[in-house]
């Protein structure tokens, strides 16, 4: 790169607003993605490079993390307190089944100046998968319209960021086959990182029970609005299905979730956003009262805690790897 090009690049980077992604350059700025970066750095086959990267169920949060990797050198040099891993990424492909999400993610990719580093694609992993789980690839066809999503393409790293829990909203009952569908796109020796949420119990003893009540009422609102709830799966289910798909589970890590009042209110507001879609105004009005009572109860509970938070459940990261000499059935 000549001096003029370097100067233009420096000027372009200086003009970018990277405030949304700075936290990823700070140690413990995001514990889940920080753990993934640590694992990638410790992998002797990759030494911190994610290579060709597939975000199998993209969203704003994972897109910002990818942008932080693509801009990592700049962030490390220009962010106060930056001390994260010096990881890298060659390119990215981001998949979503929702057109609104695709537009939102693409717009953010442009805003963060990474649109030339990858693609944001709309697609559904369920397409082309038979009832017996067999994947009907059309690789012999020259007609691109007959090929499945990303047919013929492989990646060094795949991220499934809360993907399994979100599937029920787009492809109900496909959760048990999602890893089988992804594995053909993972290069031998490549890694699949799964981020998920351990399902919350229906009830618990103690102050954290208010969050169980909020979850139940929120989901009731979603169903009464004729929408589908996300369905989270426990970590042991994830590990079993990764192994059934032919992958080796390398590591797992759990992170307890601490809910403050603002976090609880966000979940209550999800319920409130569905009230206008209820079958009757009377039902919506009564459910609105239930939600208001839950907001009051959550404030009372959290204000009595020394930290202002209650602990319930956990997020998890599962690290799986495709054997270097492993054949995977499709």
Per-residue pLDDT, 144: 67
Strands 309-321 and 186-197: antiparallel
Residue of 179, 158, 152, 183 lying closest to 167 (CA atoms)? 179
Residue of 95, 260, 234, 118 lying closest to 175 (CA atoms)? 234
The pTM for the full model equals 0.91
3-state class (DSSP) for residue 245: coil
Per-residue pLDDT, 205: 97
3-state class (DSSP) for residue 29: coil
Per-residue pLDDT, 77: 85
Per-residue pLDDT, 69: 95
pLDDT, mean of each 10-residue run, the chain (330 residues)? 54 73 89 96 91 97 96 85 83 94 94 95 90 76 74 96 92 94 96 97 97 98 95 97 97 98 98 98 98 98 97 98 72
Per-residue pLDDT, 5: 54
The DSSP secondary structure of 199-232, one letter per residue, reads PPPS--SSTTHHHHHHHHHHHHHHHHTT-PPP--
Q: Name beta bridge partners: 118.
A: 92
Residue of 314, 315, 57, 54 lying closest to 163 (CA atoms)? 57
CA–centroid distance for 295 within its chain: 27
Per-residue pLDDT, 145: 67
Distance CA 65, CA 51 (A): 15
């Amino acid at each position: 790169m000549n001096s003029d090009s370097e100067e233009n690049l420096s000027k372009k980077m200086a003009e970018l607003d990277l405030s949304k992604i700075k936290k990823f350059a700070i140690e413990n700025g995001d514990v889940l993605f920080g753990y993934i970066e640590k694992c990638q750095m410790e992998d002797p086959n990759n030494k911190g490079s994610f290579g060709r990267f597939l975000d199998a169920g993209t969203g704003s949060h994972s897109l910002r993390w990818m942008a932080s990797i693509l801009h990592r050198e700049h962030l490390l040099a220009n962010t106060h307190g930056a001390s994260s891993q010096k990881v890298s990424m060659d390119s990215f492909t981001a998949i979503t089944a929702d057109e609104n999400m695709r537009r939102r993610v693409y717009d953010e990719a442009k805003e963060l100046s990474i649109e030339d580093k990858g693609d944001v694609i709309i697609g559904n992993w369920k397409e082309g998968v038979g009832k017996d789980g067999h994947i009907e690839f059309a690789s012999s066809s020259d007609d691109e319209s007959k090929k499945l999503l990303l047919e013929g393409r492989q990646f060094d790293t795949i991220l499934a960021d809360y993907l399994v829990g979100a599937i029920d909203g787009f492809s109900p009952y496909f959760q048990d086959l999602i890893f089988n569908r992804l594995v053909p796109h993972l290069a031998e020796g490549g890694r699949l990182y799964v981020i998920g949420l351990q399902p919350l119990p229906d009830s618990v003893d103690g102050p954290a029970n208010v969050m169980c009540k909020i979850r139940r009422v929120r989901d009731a609102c979603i169903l009464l609005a004729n929408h589908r709830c996300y369905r989270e799966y426990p970590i042991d289910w994830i590990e079993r299905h990764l192994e059934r798909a032919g992958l080796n589970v390398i590591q797992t890590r759990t992170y307890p979730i601490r809910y403050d009042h603002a976090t609880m209110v966000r979940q209550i507001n999800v319920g409130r956003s569905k009230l206008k879609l209820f079958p009757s105004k009377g039902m919506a009005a009564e459910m609105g009262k239930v939600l208001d009572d839950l907001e009051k109860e959550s404030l009372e509970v959290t204000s009595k805690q020394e930290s202002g938070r209650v602990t319930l459940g956990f997020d998890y990261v599962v690290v799986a790897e495709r054997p270097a000499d492993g054949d995977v059935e499709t």
